[in-house]
Amino acid sequence: MKNEKKVHTINTTILLASASPRRQELLARMGLSFTVCPADLDESLWDDLPPDALVEHLSRAKGETVAATAPAGTLVIAADTVVVLDGQILGKPRDQREAAYMLSCLSDRTHEVYTGLSVRRDKLVYTTHQITSVRFRNLSEVDIARYVKTGEPMDKAGAYGIQGYGAMLVSAISGDYFNVMGLPVCRLGQILSAHFGLDPLVLAAEGEAAP
């Protein structure tokens, strides 16, 4: 029988304003019970903002959208992640050709991953962002073609996923690894503890330890 991670239940209802499987996985790893409630938002309306302002604005807007129909006292966690190279934002590729082009641009270079994080409960809102630098190894055309063929790049900003096959493209990282996955776990834990009276470590210590 496989070991299953136990999720500690708390009295506060938590909504995750994201459909991202990576964010769901990371939030579950923190031992929190939550419901997925993606925000319906046109993100293209704010494309002219710089990366730091963009991810903060979008994460805050996502949280606000979900909170608008949530019961009072609900804790809403929202995030938005972009990949930035030379000040230019690389979104999700529209097709395999664009994915290959993005990867060729990232090859043998360092880029930044920005994640905006917004946590709210009623009128209390805390929004911030985290930056992680990622260095790619030198990628040949064959490397890129093979990676694109896996299909992994197609639904990810910057056309790669560090938690999957994309890990084999990364030669160095400076900052929070989980930030590149889409959720700065350490920062989120600090925010929950300092501003919302919810410390995941306390919950884990008081509950049954997960294997």
131-168: per-residue pLDDT in tens? 999 999 999 999 999 999 999 999 899 999 999 999 99
Contact predicate 72/102, CB 8 Å: no
CATH number where 173 lies: 3.90.950.10
Does position 110 have pLDDT exceeding 70, yes or no? yes
Query: Is 4 domain-assigned?
Result: no
pLDDT digits (tens, 9 = 90+) for 19-64: 999 999 999 999 999 999 999 877 666 778 999 999 999 999 999 9
Selection from 39, 33, 32 nearest residue 18 by Cα: 39
User: What pLDDT does 10 receive?
Assistant: 52
Q: Which residues of 152-186 are buried (b: 16+ CB within 10 A; e: fewer)?
A: bbeebbbbbbbbeebeebbeebeebbbbbbbbbbe
User: In the predicted model, what is the mean pLDDT of the chain?
Assistant: 91
Query: Is 179 domain-assigned?
Result: yes
Query: Is 146 domain-assigned?
Result: yes
**What pTM value is reported for the model?**
0.89
Number of domains in the chain: 1
Cα–Cα distances in angstroms (integers) from residue 124 to residues 76, 157, 178, in the given order:
11, 30, 25
Q: Where are the alpha helices (DSSP H) in the chain?
A: 21-29, 51-67, 96-106, 141-149, 177-181, 185-196, 200-206
> In the structure encoding, which two tokens stand for residue 112, read together?
């930044």
Q: How confident is the model at residue 181 (pLDDT cuts 50, 70, 90)?
A: very high
Average pLDDT estimate for 72-96 = 95
DSSP 133-154: EEEEPP--HHHHHHHHHTSGGG
Query: Is 1 domain-assigned?
Result: no
Domain hosting 151: range is: 14-206
Query: Is 54 domain-assigned?
Result: yes
Query: Is 197 domain-assigned?
Result: yes
Selection from 67, 24, 152 nearest residue 59 by Cα: 67
Instruction: Provide φ and ψ at 125, rounded to 5°.
Output: -130, 130
- Tell me the catalytic residues: 80
User: What pLDDT does 49 receive?
Assistant: 92
Query: Is 166 domain-assigned?
Result: yes
User: What pLDDT does 210 receive?
Assistant: 36
Q: Is the dihedral of CA 35, 40, 45, 47 positive or negative?
A: positive
Amino acid at 194: A
CA distance 48 to 194: 33
Does position 87 have pLDDT exceeding 50, yes or no? yes
Q: Which residues of 66-103 are buried (b: 16+ CB within 10 A; e: fewer)?
A: bbeebeeebbbbbbbbbbbeeeebbbebeeeebbbebb
Selection from 137, 149, 126 nearest residue 198 by Cα: 126
